[in-house]
Chains A and B, each alone.
Chain A
């Protein structure tokens, strides 16, 4: 008997240690998310907190994950020949970023200094913004793109903002009023509430919860179940955005900090010098930027019949792009064949959050609504 108990004792670690490790694995994230109790705030107060945020410099790690139910893409094969493979912001990149999960490192140094690093497997894509310079660098191709922003861009933006301000009704002079107005605008379509306090990136946060109203006539048959925004309780910086889709428990889209440091990053980070052997492309943005990166820099003023038409309200808004406004290159893109499926009256791309429908006559409809709603709109 004594021997048996001795042996039992010696086998104890084989059970106890794995049990402790498994418990730790389960308990640590739970503990991190548990027991946060902040002073109660109304949605309006949380919005004010965001508005009053004075954070100008920080660095952090951002995780982004999407579970949109997109068909898995063979991006390398589908990459259009001769297309903008050097551009980190092309269609392929956007699609790639929307599928699966990614990790970023973000550095913001204030005063027009920022750097975003997309951590890829054995590679990295960088966007470095420093004053009037933007550098894009992709280590997998060892290619850098330099964009010079026009010096007056910032001035233009400031002027525009001032102009906007002057146009605002006078009763919206204070941020508090702005928040109130914003909420009342949202009210018919959306319930805004403050969810349970949580912990994101080691910081306690308020969770602003936007839920589409599903009442009577405004019944928005939208695919969005809810949007939650986590706001740092101290600084007011939004730390995470989560979009839940109808009938899906995992977030359809989530982007948020996993770590954040409010110390100003080293300014050396923003002084990007392309590596000696990299191929460098110089690009200058036009004074009045149309596209964001100059990809669609052709002068392209909207004409009649090219303006998108917006129908519906709130969450069930549908955007209709007339056939003439659909970029021709889109039609040739082999990616589309991979992505879309033939449906009644055209081709459709359905995800858990957004549906895009191209009718046979070339018009494109999109919205956070079921396909049937788009097909109905196309009639």
Chain B
């Protein structure tokens, strides 16, 4: 495992860095000036609803499509100018697995392995066998792919990314079509790869998946990168807030503003208003705020300090419901 011994070294610097990366299809902007920074050694979750530009970004990272503007650097090298040097060090699963249905699983992997000029022929069979074992497909190695289930194809796709030790794995929706058992297996596989020092870049539209696997995440919405950082940082950023129920909305707003917060009415019901205010950088203790409110003559029906959940943050950033981003 070439990647294993040098993990510490890799942790420095960025595995992926984009600057103002933009992709336009005609007049539509699919990806809008994103600055993505994926540290080496991270398991990086790339979150966003379907159609938010995740796959388009990944295609640009891998040199499949050209950026309309902006620049990309992968493993310290400019893409796509140094594509032939970068890609052998990257394993990828892009927009679902794709194989020759008339070839067996193993033959498919061998075929794709020949496309990599740096893949040694001598060890090809052994490596294919190893990769199939790693994703639990050894039993179906000689079965034709058209007889594979969606989950098996997904595993085969991951196996293809693992044919050689890689410095970076780009996995686009790796758990698609997998049963809960398969999903758990992928999760633990990603963890073990990360432990070997591989940077893993996982895209997903499922928050839970990212929360369970990743150390870092970025959130895409309608082509824009709306947040990124470590999971802990994402949870924190300005999210802790005061949640107040009161019939004296105007008074509450006045008091909270005096405290240096930025309150806002969440409902318009005059008799029973909800006022929220992010705590932000202020260091007010909850009891101090309540004291100030009471002193200001505000009647309190309910008071809470809300700790942020990533879910909420995600929904706030990307919108709710089934509105697939355009």
What is the 8 Å Cβ interface bit string for chain A, positions 3-46, against chain B (1 contact, 0 not)? Answer: 10001000000000000000000000000000000000000000
* Contact of B277 with A by CB under 8 A: no
A7 to B66, CA, bound (A): 10
Quick one: closest B residue to A2, CB to CB? B71
Quick one: closest A residue to B68, CB to CB? A3
Residues of A within 8 A of B225 (CB): none
Main secondary structure of the interface of B (DSSP, over half): loop
* Contact of B69 with A by CB under 8 A: yes
A7 to B80, CA, bound (A): 12
Interface residues on B, range: under 10
A7 to B68, CA, bound (A): 11
Residues of A within 8 A of B68 (CB): 3
For chain B residues 66-86, which have a beta carbon within 8 Å of chain A? Answer: 66-69
Residues of A within 8 A of B69 (CB): 3
Residues of B within 8 A of A3 (CB): 66-69
Quick one: closest B residue to A1, CB to CB? B69
Task: Return A156 CB to nearest CB of chain B, in Å.
Answer: 79
A3 to B78, CA, bound (A): 13
Task: Return A11 CB to nearest CB of chain B, in Å.
Answer: 13
Task: Return A8 CB to nearest CB of chain B, in Å.
Answer: 12
A28 to B69, CA, bound (A): 44
A29 to B71, CA, bound (A): 50
A7 to B65, CA, bound (A): 12
Residues of B within 8 A of A7 (CB): 66
A141 to B166, CA, bound (A): 72
Quick one: closest A residue to B69, CB to CB? A3
A3 to B21, CA, bound (A): 12
What is the 8 Å Cβ interface bit string for chain B, positions 243-270, against chain A (1 contact, 0 not)? Answer: 0000000000000000000000000000
A3 to B66, CA, bound (A): 8
For chain B residues 43-70, which have a beta carbon within 8 Å of chain A? Answer: 66-69
Quick one: closest A residue to B81, CB to CB? A6
A7 to B69, CA, bound (A): 13
Task: Return B249 CB to nearest CB of chain A, in Å.
Answer: 53
A3 to B69, CA, bound (A): 7
Residues of A within 8 A of B66 (CB): 3, 7
Task: Return B81 CB to nearest CB of chain A, in Å.
Answer: 8
Task: Return A169 CB to nearest CB of chain B, in Å.
Answer: 88
What is the 8 Å Cβ interface bit string for chain A, positions 151-166, against chain B (1 contact, 0 not)? Answer: 0000000000000000
Task: Return A2 CB to nearest CB of chain B, in Å.
Answer: 9
Task: Return B83 CB to nearest CB of chain A, in Å.
Answer: 12
Task: Return A247 CB to nearest CB of chain B, in Å.
Answer: 55
Residues of A within 8 A of B67 (CB): 3
Quick one: closest A residue to B67, CB to CB? A3
A199 to B274, CA, bound (A): 99
Task: Return B70 CB to nearest CB of chain A, in Å.
Answer: 9
Task: Return B18 CB to nearest CB of chain A, in Å.
Answer: 14
Task: Return B269 CB to nearest CB of chain A, in Å.
Answer: 54
Task: Return B201 CB to nearest CB of chain A, in Å.
Answer: 23
A3 to B72, CA, bound (A): 12
A233 to B68, CA, bound (A): 64
A274 to B66, CA, bound (A): 69
For chain B residues 113-161, which have a beta carbon within 8 Å of chain A? Answer: none
A60 to B67, CA, bound (A): 60
A11 to B12, CA, bound (A): 39
Task: Return B23 CB to nearest CB of chain A, in Å.
Answer: 11
Task: Return A110 CB to nearest CB of chain B, in Å.
Answer: 63
A3 to B24, CA, bound (A): 14
Task: Return B126 CB to nearest CB of chain A, in Å.
Answer: 38
What is the 8 Å Cβ interface bit string for chain A, positions 169-206, against chain B (1 contact, 0 not)? Answer: 00000000000000000000000000000000000000
A340 to B139, CA, bound (A): 84
Task: Return B314 CB to nearest CB of chain A, in Å.
Answer: 33
Task: Return B19 CB to nearest CB of chain A, in Å.
Answer: 13
Task: Return A318 CB to nearest CB of chain B, in Å.
Answer: 74
A3 to B67, CA, bound (A): 8
Quick one: closest A residue to B70, CB to CB? A3
Task: Return A300 CB to nearest CB of chain B, in Å.
Answer: 78
For chain B residues 155-188, which have a beta carbon within 8 Å of chain A? Answer: none
Task: Return A306 CB to nearest CB of chain B, in Å.
Answer: 82
A282 to B67, CA, bound (A): 81
Quick one: closest B residue to A7, CB to CB? B66
Task: Return B71 CB to nearest CB of chain A, in Å.
Answer: 9
A3 to B70, CA, bound (A): 9
A299 to B32, CA, bound (A): 99
A322 to B69, CA, bound (A): 89
A252 to B67, CA, bound (A): 60
What is the 8 Å Cβ interface bit string for chain A, positions 89-107, against chain B (1 contact, 0 not)? Answer: 0000000000000000000
What is the 8 Å Cβ interface bit string for chain B, positions 181-205, against chain A (1 contact, 0 not)? Answer: 0000000000000000000000000
Task: Return A358 CB to nearest CB of chain B, in Å.
Answer: 72
A7 to B67, CA, bound (A): 11
Task: Return A1 CB to nearest CB of chain B, in Å.
Answer: 9
Task: Return B79 CB to nearest CB of chain A, in Å.
Answer: 12
Task: Return A266 CB to nearest CB of chain B, in Å.
Answer: 52
A3 to B22, CA, bound (A): 12
Task: Return B24 CB to nearest CB of chain A, in Å.
Answer: 12
A7 to B81, CA, bound (A): 12
Residues of A within 8 A of B (CB): 3, 7
Task: List, sorted by A's number, 5 A–B pairs whose CB atoms are closer than 8 Å.
Answer: A3-B66, A3-B67, A3-B68, A3-B69, A7-B66
5 nearest CB pairs, A to B: A3-B66, A3-B67, A3-B69, A7-B66, A3-B68
